[in-house]
Structure 1
């Protein structure tokens, strides 16, 4: 798997998660606050009249929505990040955030499903029942996709150990990078390189043009 294909998959998952988060908090805000009966105008949370359940679902949906937008932009510009350390931080942040949101959505699914089972059906509750079921269903779908997104982020981080993700075209700009090796020859030195060993000379007893004087 290449860094480009992993980035594309992450963008697709981010787009799906934006839709899921909109469905969850949109359903709760618009249709999960109902009147208990016609004589009581007060709006109550449809999930067993537990305000915490609705508030938690809305909060997780909003956090997930803006988180998806942020990491979608990061994925688009990831290849333009020149620093190796910044790339590692971005991938680790994506991995941590994906795992954190997986946990939050798991809690949301369990919380909403539990409160829905305890809800007493009434005329007002029946009107918002479909929205409540949609919020629970897409909370479950969000768990699966966020886990998949965390796995993709982990794969992208592991790609960095192969230097295909974090170190593309980085050796020229990294001051700590090793210098390229010097070119090596064929291993056979020419005999004409040095005519004679340094600092040696041949001593001739009778050099040309010089005679030993006789005394």
Structure 2
């Protein structure tokens, strides 16, 4: 587990691509990215058919254009989010500020949770509309079944991403409860005293002797006498 608030104390070091790719969160995120491509690309490419008795193309899911539009919208946004979060996951170990890490983890948790719900709704809508689809548009049966199946797979992967984000979030909260403070934001420490500059000497160095040219009687100097010509 990471130490420090959200692992901030372990930041730094060289980026290891192979280790990053092998992380479970990265693998699941890439799978979510691929599943979203399958969903919106299949609907866009094969989701609209021309029934024999109608001039215009209709959505293969019972002619419900809203169902196709919803699937495409959820898929495209999931695709973009996966790209963004993969980049953030790669950059995350280099972030030393605990507040920035918290914002990333919180955003990941919220988005993953919301998109798990959206994929569930998308799966229910598409499966229900496909179950009521007439024989006239079943020319795209394989494509429709693929969209429904990968919508279900997306529920699983985004639920796993929510679990990973929640684990990181709870770890960060536990570290803060233990008294971790981000060094970059700790201004309570007083300015440390330094001994680099020695104090100005108040007395002469040891062994100092008075100049031989100094008058012997400083308090009562001899009276001034003008020179004679």
Q: Answer yes or no: same fold by TM over 0.5.
A: yes
In the alignment, does 2:189 pair up with 1:174? Answer: no
Tell me what 1:130 maps to.
142
Gaps of 5+ in 2: 11-18, 191-229
> Using the alignment, how far apart are the partners of 1:155 and 1:36 within structure 2?
49
Tell me what 2:83 maps to.
69
Tell me what 1:121 maps to.
135
In the alignment, does 2:68 pair up with 1:32? Answer: no
> Using the alignment, how far apart are the partners of 1:154 and 1:119 within structure 2?
39
Deviation per CA, 1:43-88, whole angstroms, max 9, x where unpaired? 1001110000000000000000000001110100001112111110
> How far has the Cα of 1:126 moved from its partner?
2.4
> How far has the Cα of 1:32 moved from its partner?
1.3
> Using the alignment, how far apart are the partners of 2:62 and 2:163 within structure 1?
35
> Using the alignment, how far apart are the partners of 1:31 and 1:74 within structure 2?
33
> Using the alignment, how far apart are the partners of 2:172 and 2:41 within structure 1?
38
Alignment equivalent of 1:156, drawn from 141, 164, 168: 168
TM-score computed with the length of structure 1 as normaliser: 0.73
SS of the residue aligned with 1:42? coil
Tell me what 1:197 maps to.
none
Taking the TM superposition and a 5 Å limit, the aligned residue runs for 1:55-94 are 55-94=69-108
In the alignment, does 2:35 pair up with 1:20? Answer: yes
> How far has the Cα of 1:163 moved from its partner?
3.5
Contact 1:6 1:152 in 2 (8 A): no
Deviation per CA, 1:125-170, whole angstroms, max 9, x where unpaired? 2221111000000000100110110000010112213549xx9994
> Using the alignment, how far apart are the partners of 1:116 and 1:35 within structure 2?
16
Contact 1:28 1:57 in 2 (8 A): yes
> How far has the Cα of 1:16 moved from its partner?
0.4
Contact 1:10 1:149 in 2 (8 A): yes
> How far has the Cα of 1:42 moved from its partner?
1.5
> Using the alignment, how far apart are the partners of 1:176 and 1:163 within structure 2?
20
Gaps of 5+ in 1: 180-215
Alignment equivalent of 1:53, drawn from 53, 67, 72: 67
The alignment of Structure 1 onto Structure 2 pairs a total of residues equal to 173
Contact 1:6 1:156 in 2 (8 A): no
CA distance 1:153–1:135, shift in 2 (3 Å)? same
